[in-house]
């Protein structure tokens, strides 16, 4: 069961199109897995629809309609085939990353591997898929800015709470944590950082350098 969700402001930023592409993509992965947030985003999109309805209309150029009619001339609307037959969004996992450049898995330390993800048009920040073996922990670290994490599979506990598949987590500069993966399985997370992590200790710093943080 999903117990950790993005906050209202993040959902509003998503619905109004104001997230950078990395965070927007990460949030989409959460929405694929989470009915509750999905429903809430639909409500916030409905607010957007209402804002559009109330927007002050601005006249288009004289030939605008003609130009649009010309562009659709001779083309029929696409058939419906694609709609509704896609796999259940929850089962999609990381297929959202299809439009990104994703590296092969790279081992960084025993029990720790990652794939870097280059998101088209990402303004700032780094995105990667992280795999941590059962029972392993990520080096203790704090954040200069913001880290968003979406758990794809497995689970971890960082001393604040337990995060399972489908859960979303946001940590800011105030959080200093050490996620520990539970014993059952490898934990796969999609993570987005908008500023470098600050690792403590030599091994941790090496790890940070490896994955380019």
Binding mask 34-53 for another protein (x = CB under 8 A): -x--xxxxxxxxxxxxxxxx
Residues of 125-152 as b/e, b for ≥16 C-beta within 10 angstroms? bbbbbbbbeeebebbebbbeebbbbbbb
Residue 5 binding: pick among another protein, Zn ion, none (C-beta 5-8 Å cut-off by kind): Zn ion
* Smallest distance from another protein to CB 42, Å: 6
The answer to whether the CB of 41 falls within 8 A of the CB of 31 is yes
Helices within the chain (DSSP H only) = 8-15, 21-33, 35-54, 64-72, 202-210
* Smallest distance from another protein to CB 99, Å: 5
Residue 110 binding: pick among another protein, Zn ion, none (C-beta 5-8 Å cut-off by kind): none
Q: Which of residues 117-176 bind another protein (CB under 8 A)?
A: 118-123
Residue 60 or 161 with smaller CB distance to another protein: 60
Binds another protein (CB under 8 A): choice among 1, 62, 84, 202: 84
Long-range contacts of range 6-13, CB-CB < 8 Å, 24 or more positions apart?
A: 6/30, 6/37, 6/168, 6/170, 7/170, 10/170, 11/37, 11/40, 11/41, 11/44, 12/44
Binding mask 85-124 for another protein (x = CB under 8 A): -x-xxx-----x-xxxx----------------xxxxxx-
Binds another protein (CB under 8 A): choice among 3, 18, 103, 206: 18
- Is there binding between residue 57 and another protein (CB under 8 A)? yes
Q: Which residues bind Zn ion (CB under 5 A)?
A: 5, 34, 37
């Amino acid at each position: 069961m999903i117990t950790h969700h993005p906050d209202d402001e993040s959902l509003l930023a998503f619905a109004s199109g104001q997230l950078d592409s990395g965070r927007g993509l990460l949030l989409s992965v959460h929405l694929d897995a989470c009915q509750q947030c999905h429903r809430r985003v639909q409500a916030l999109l409905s607010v957007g629809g209402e804002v559009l309805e109330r927007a002050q209309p601005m006249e288009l150029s004289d030939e605008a309609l003609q130009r649009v009619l010309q562009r659709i001339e001779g083309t029929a609307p696409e058939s419906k085939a694609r709609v509704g037959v896609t796999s259940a969004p929850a089962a999609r996992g990381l297929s959202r990353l299809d439009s990104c450049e994703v590296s092969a898995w790279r081992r960084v330390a025993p029990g720790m591997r990652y794939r870097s993800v280059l998101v088209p048009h990402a303004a700032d920040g780094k995105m990667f898929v992280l795999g941590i073996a059962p029972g392993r922990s990520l080096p203790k670290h704090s954040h200069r800015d913001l880290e968003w994490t979406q758990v794809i599979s497995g689970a971890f506990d960082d001393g604040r709470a337990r995060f399972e598949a489908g859960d979303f987590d946001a940590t800011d500069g105030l959080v200093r944590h050490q996620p520990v993966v539970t014993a059952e399985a490898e934990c796969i997370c999609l993570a987005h950082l908008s500023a470098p992590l600050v690792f403590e200790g030599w091994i941790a710093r090496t790890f940070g350098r490896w994955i380019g943080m």
